[in-house]
């Protein structure tokens, strides 16, 4: 591997990983603070992208970057207040099924309102230039903006949860709800706010991710599975874990694409050029499959391996 | 007991017979995914089909009989396609059309072959409106089925013909999805383009998972590093849109030869990518072809339906051919219709002569290579982007006529 390829892969991996973290941060926040695995998270992300598109048409991208997440956050808070809270008493399974239902409803609603074709959601003019060039390949300023936003959100959330009273109350509400409410705090309001903030974070990701990806009704379904990989690998409920896992998944996927090595090449090194016939058709099928071909599937393999050997994830507290 | 049963049976038989006689419309079933991610394609095909049918109906229909479109959701599954086909037949459909996926077309042709063998007095016809697999009119061809778009091999042959004159391109990168469609196209490109341009060097050959990738920048870095002057890809939908956007972001200067860049959403992504004049479409045709009839048709269609008509030529061709064939046969019965559909000559919406080959029921017509540019004001654009197609070559029908493997079983 040349220095050029390694530099590109490191850069691309970081940028992609940060996009994933932007998405996963809200999901992991909601899970760690409320214990709710929100299957509708990617749908909130999609709502953020559509709201962002509509609002930026009227007032421009940067106001939309604030307004759209606020709207999504309010929507999330309402979902918590009038839906999730009622389902809560039936346990985790009820919550899980409820969020799956919400995901379907949002997707259908978006198809009804905006139709099935992709929206023409573009990178704002102010950020539509090449930030820097390496080996003749340009890197757009918008991706750097995304990177900065991601790091800022990570730092902001980590500080909020570990260094402020708000974080203290939120964490205590999860483990000792009675005690917290006896101290005079409104615990249901705390949960509603956490869910709202988590949804708003998905909204931020949507406003930023919309122009990079494609703003269309299937965008939620395309990203949902990889988010769960990140949250599980990072450790359910760990913000730092999600951050590390996002980068890890980003690196795995970008480096894998650069590697053209296949099973045949590995055995070629020790002089075996044909698959042993005795091993049957299965082996000859995977004989010529290169790493780059299976790259995007490796994170899911990682998920399975992680669940078997370290179910609490990289830094997770829950098993 | 037996008596009541017989009476009951004959009453039902009489009822259905009289229903058939009282039937005033010619029922045309559209069996396609009306739900799920592929529904965006179906939505547009339905518009093209309805527009063509409305034209025929306004001119008196088929021998005085109006065409009625029935729609059935096959949920993108071959099994469901067969189930919906039975439902369509029960509702009186005489022609069953499917467009979106080749595997559904195979399932439908299979079903109809069996159905027609079992019900020789009530046979039906299959129309294939947009599928891409050469086997549909090749080894799997059927007497009851007609295809109205050029298949992947014909398009690749057209691309090979075009590249013969583009001697400036010598380094080509192949990028295709896994799965049968992507992989057959890849092989076909290596064979056909390799034969017409033996000097071309394949500087890269990547296979990626289908519709699972959200970040194509690593692929673009790889393409750039390979020094490719052109990329040939059979990618479609979100894959194509994302890969072109990533290419635009990185400032990749290679040309893109694509099979599906006329599809929904692709023009929007291409305009966003800013790849001006770098993305080529290898397709049946597009709005960039210089033809007055085409431009008038596009203008009228867009005014009514709000989208471009030329991305789905198969459905317009099917209805044009059907209307001419019915007039020629003087009857709307299946046997005379098939007889006159064989070899029927008509004009496509691109203003090109076309006919349905009597050997394998495959449309024979020209194709186009066009590139996507920022078009001047007043020219036809795509998806309201201000960008549109500029035709660079028309490949005549003779150049893309391939030997066919069809051994048709005729009744």
User: Which of A288-297, B176-185, B250-259 is most confident?
Assistant: B250-259
One DSSP character per residue, B86-126 reads HHHHHTT-SEEEE-S-HHHHHHHHHHHHHHHHH-TTS--EE
Q: How many CA atoms lie within 13 A of B275 on its CB side?
A: 31
Give the A:B interface size as CB pairs under 8 Å: 108
State the smallest CA–CA distance between residue B200 and chain A in angstroms: 21
Q: Which residues, at least 6 apart from A309, have a Cβ–Cβ distance to it below 8 Å? A: none
Residue A261 contacts residue A269 (beta carbons within 8 Å): no
Rounded to 10 degrees, what is the CA torsion of A51, A53, A55, A59? 160
pLDDT at A218 (0 to 100): 87
Kindly state the average pLDDT of the residues B266-273. 92
Strand boundaries in A31-181, DSSP class E: 130-134, 137-140
Q: Which residues of B touch A212 (CB under 8 A)?
A: 245
**CA dist., res. B356 & res. B377, Å (int):** 37
Sorting pLDDT into bands at 50, 70 and 90, what band is B65?
Answer: very high
Q: Which residues of B touch A16 (CB under 8 A)?
A: 214-215, 217
State the sign of the Cα–Cα–Cα–Cα dihedral B3, B9, B10, B12: positive
**CA dist., res. B171 & res. B230, Å (int):** 7
Fold of B2-150+295-364: Rossmann fold (3.40.50)
Annotated domain spans of chain B: 2-150+295-364, 153-283+366-400
Could you say which DSSP state residue A81 is in? I
pLDDT at B3 (0 to 100): 54
- Facing residues of A262 across strands? A290
Kindly state the average pLDDT of the residues B379-399. 94
Inspect the interface and report whether the beta carbons of A4 and B211 lie closer than 8 Å: no
**CA dist., res. A123 & res. A215, Å (int):** 12
pLDDT tens-digit map of A131-156: 888 877 788 899 999 999 999 999 99
Place of tokens 């220095």: A3
Q: Which of A46, A110, A219, A118 is nearest to B264 (CA)?
A: A118
**CA dist., res. A47 & res. A106, Å (int):** 8
| Pair of tokens at residue A274 | 């044909």
Tally of CB atoms within 10 A around B194:
14
To test the contact with chain A by mutation, choose from B35, B226, B227, B249 the residue with the greatest count of A C-beta atoms within 10 A, namely B249
User: Measured between CB atoms, does B271 come within 8 Å of chain A?
Assistant: yes
Sorting pLDDT into bands at 50, 70 and 90, what band is A37?
Answer: confident
Cα A10 → chain centroid: 19
Collapse the DSSP code of B216 into the 3-class scheme (helix H, G, I; strand E, B; otherwise coil) and give the result.
Answer: coil
User: Measured between CB atoms, does B267 come within 8 Å of chain A?
Assistant: no
Query: B66-73 and B279-283: which strand pairing?
Result: unpaired
Helix (H) / strand (E) element for B45: namely: helix B39-58
Q: How many CA atoms lie within 13 A of A279 on its CB side?
A: 9
To test the contact with chain A by mutation, choose from B211, B268, B269, B305 the residue with the greatest count of A C-beta atoms within 10 A, namely B268
**CA dist., res. A118 & res. A225, Å (int):** 21
Inspect the interface and report whether the beta carbons of B241 and A118 lie closer than 8 Å: yes
Burial of B69 (0-12, 13-18, 19+ CB in 10 A): middle
Q: Which of A304, A218, A243 is nearest to A42 (CA)?
A: A218
Inspect the interface and report whether the beta carbons of B215 and A9 lie closer than 8 Å: no
Inspect the interface and report whether the beta carbons of A117 and B224 lie closer than 8 Å: no
Tally of CB atoms within 10 A around B409:
8
**CA dist., res. A310 & res. A304, Å (int):** 10
Edge-to-edge strand ranges of the sheet holding B95-98? B66-73, B25-32, B95-98, B125-128, B145-147
Residue B41 contacts residue B91 (beta carbons within 8 Å): no
Q: Which residues of A touch B187 (CB under 8 A)?
A: none
Could you say which DSSP state residue B130 is in? S
Place of tokens 């559904």: B104
Kindly state the average pLDDT of the residues B330-349. 94
Place of tokens 């909130």: A44
Collapse the DSSP code of B267 into the 3-class scheme (helix H, G, I; strand E, B; otherwise coil) and give the result.
Answer: helix
∠ Cα B320 B325 B331 (to 5°) = 130
Confidence check: pLDDT of B244 > 50: yes
Least-confidence region, from A110-119, A309-318, B162-171, B333-342: A309-318
- Please tell me which residue, A291 or A198, carries the higher pLDDT value: A198
pLDDT tens-digit map of A38-80: 999 999 999 999 999 999 999 999 999 999 999 999 999 999 9
Fold match, B2-150+295-364 / B153-283+366-400: yes
State the sign of the Cα–Cα–Cα–Cα dihedral B323, B329, B331, B334: negative
pLDDT tens-digit map of B125-180: 999 998 888 999 999 999 999 999 999 999 999 999 999 999 999 999 999 998 88
What is the percent of chain A where pLDDT is above 90? 52
Sorting pLDDT into bands at 50, 70 and 90, what band is A82?
Answer: very high
User: Which of A29-33, A36-40, B118-122, B177-181 is most confident?
Assistant: B118-122
pLDDT tens-digit map of A261-270: 777 777 777 7
To test the contact with chain A by mutation, choose from B43, B210, B214 the residue with the greatest count of A C-beta atoms within 10 A, namely B214
**CA dist., res. A155 & res. A148, Å (int):** 11
User: Measured between CB atoms, does A252 come within 8 Å of chain B?
Assistant: no
Collapse the DSSP code of A262 into the 3-class scheme (helix H, G, I; strand E, B; otherwise coil) and give the result.
Answer: strand
pLDDT at B5 (0 to 100): 58
Q: Which of A35, A99, A77 is nearest to A237 (CA)?
A: A35
Sorting pLDDT into bands at 50, 70 and 90, what band is B238?
Answer: confident
Q: Which residues, at least 6 apart from A276, have a Cβ–Cβ distance to it below 8 Å? A: A283
Kindly state the average pLDDT of the residues B319-344. 95
pLDDT at B20 (0 to 100): 45
Helix (H) / strand (E) element for A35: namely: none
Architecture of domain B153-283+366-400: 3-Layer(aba) Sandwich (3.40)
């Amino acid at each position: 591997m040349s220095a050029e390829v390694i530099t590109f892969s490191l850069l691309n991996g970081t940028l992609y990983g940060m996009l994933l973290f932007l998405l996963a941060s809200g999901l992991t926040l909601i899970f760690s603070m409320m214990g709710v695995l929100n299957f509708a998270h990617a749908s909130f992300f999609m709502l953020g992208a559509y709201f962002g598109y509509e609002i930026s048409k009227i007032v421009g991208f940067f106001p939309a970057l604030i307004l759209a997440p606020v709207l999504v956050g309010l929507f999330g808070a309402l979902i918590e207040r009038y839906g999730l809270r009622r389902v809560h008493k039936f346990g985790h399974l009820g919550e899980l099924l409820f969020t799956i239902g919400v995901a379907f409803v949002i997707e259908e609603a978006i198809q009804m309102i905006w139709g099935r074709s992709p929206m023409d959601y573009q990178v704002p003019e102010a950020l539509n230039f090449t930030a820097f060039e390496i080996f003749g390949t340009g890197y757009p300023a918008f991706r750097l903006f995304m990177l900065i936003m991601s790091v800022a959100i990570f730092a902001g959330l980590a500080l909020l949860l570990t260094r402020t009273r708000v974080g203290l109350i939120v964490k205590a509400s999860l483990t000792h709800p009675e005690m917290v409410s006896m101290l005079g705090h409104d615990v249901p309001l705390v949960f509603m706010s956490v869910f709202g903030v988590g949804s708003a974070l998905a909204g931020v990701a949507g406003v930023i991710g919309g122009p990079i990806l494609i703003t269309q009704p299937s965008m939620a379904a395309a990203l949902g599975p990889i988010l769960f990989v990140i949250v599980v690998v990072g450790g359910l409920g760990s913000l730092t874990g999600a951050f590390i896992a996002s980068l890890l998944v980003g690196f795995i996927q970008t480096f894998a694409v650069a590697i053209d090595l296949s099973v045949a090449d590995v055995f070629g090194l020790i002089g075996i050029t044909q698959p042993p016939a005795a091993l049957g058709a299965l082996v000859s099928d995977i004989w010529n499959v290169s790493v780059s071909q299976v790259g995007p599937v490796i994170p899911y393999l990682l998920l399975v391996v992680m669940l078997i050997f370290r179910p609490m994830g990289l830094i997770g507290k829950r098993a | 007991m037996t008596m009541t049963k017989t009476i009951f049976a004959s009453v039902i038989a009489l009822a259905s017979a009289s229903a058939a006689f009282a039937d005033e419309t010619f029922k045309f079933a559209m069996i396609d995914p009306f739900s799920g991610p592929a529904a965006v394609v179906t939505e547009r095909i339905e518009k093209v089909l309805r527009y063509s049918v409305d034209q025929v109906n306004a001119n008196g229909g088929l021998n005085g009989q109006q065409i009625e479109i029935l729609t059935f959701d096959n949920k993108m599954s071959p099994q469901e396609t067969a189930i919906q086909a039975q439902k369509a037949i029960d509702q009186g459909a005489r022609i069953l059309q499917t467009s979106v996926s080749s595997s559904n077309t195979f399932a439908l042709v299979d079903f109809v072959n069996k159905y027609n063998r079992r019900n020789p007095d009530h046979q039906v016809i299959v129309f294939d409106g947009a599928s891409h697999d050469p086997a549909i009119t090749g080894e799997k061809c059927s007497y009851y089925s007609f295809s109205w778009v050029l298949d992947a091999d014909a398009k690749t042959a057209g691309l090979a013909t075009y590249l013969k004159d583009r001697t400036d391109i010598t380094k080509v990168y192949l990028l295709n999805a896994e799965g049968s469609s992507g992989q057959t196209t890849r092989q076909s490109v290596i064979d056909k383009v390799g034969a017409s341009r033996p000097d071309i060097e394949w500087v890269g050959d990547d296979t990626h998972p289908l519709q699972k990738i959200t970040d194509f920048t690593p692929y673009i870095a790889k393409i750039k590093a390979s020094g490719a002057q052109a990329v040939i890809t059979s990618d479609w939908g979100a894959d194509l849109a994302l890969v072109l956007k990533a290419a635009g972001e990185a400032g990749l200067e290679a040309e893109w030869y694509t099979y599906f860049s006329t599809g929904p959403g692709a023009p929007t992504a291409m305009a966003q990518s800013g790849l001006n004049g770098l993305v080529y479409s290898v397709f049946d045709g597009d709005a960039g072809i210089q033809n007055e009839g085409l431009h008038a048709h596009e203008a009228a269609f867009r005014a009514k339906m709000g989208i471009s008509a030329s991305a789905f030529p198969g459905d317009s061709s099917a209805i044009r051919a059907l209307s001419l064939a019915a007039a020629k046969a003087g009857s709307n019965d299946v046997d005379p219709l098939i007889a006159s559909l064989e070899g029927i000559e008509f004009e496509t919406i691109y203003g090109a002569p076309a006919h349905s080959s009597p050997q394998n029921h495959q449309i024979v017509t020209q194709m186009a290579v066009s590139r996507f540019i920022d078009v001047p004001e007043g020219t036809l654009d795509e998806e309201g982007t201000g960008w549109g197609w500029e035709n660079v070559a028309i490949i005549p029908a003779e150049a893309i006529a391939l030997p066919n493997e069809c051994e048709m079983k005729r009744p």
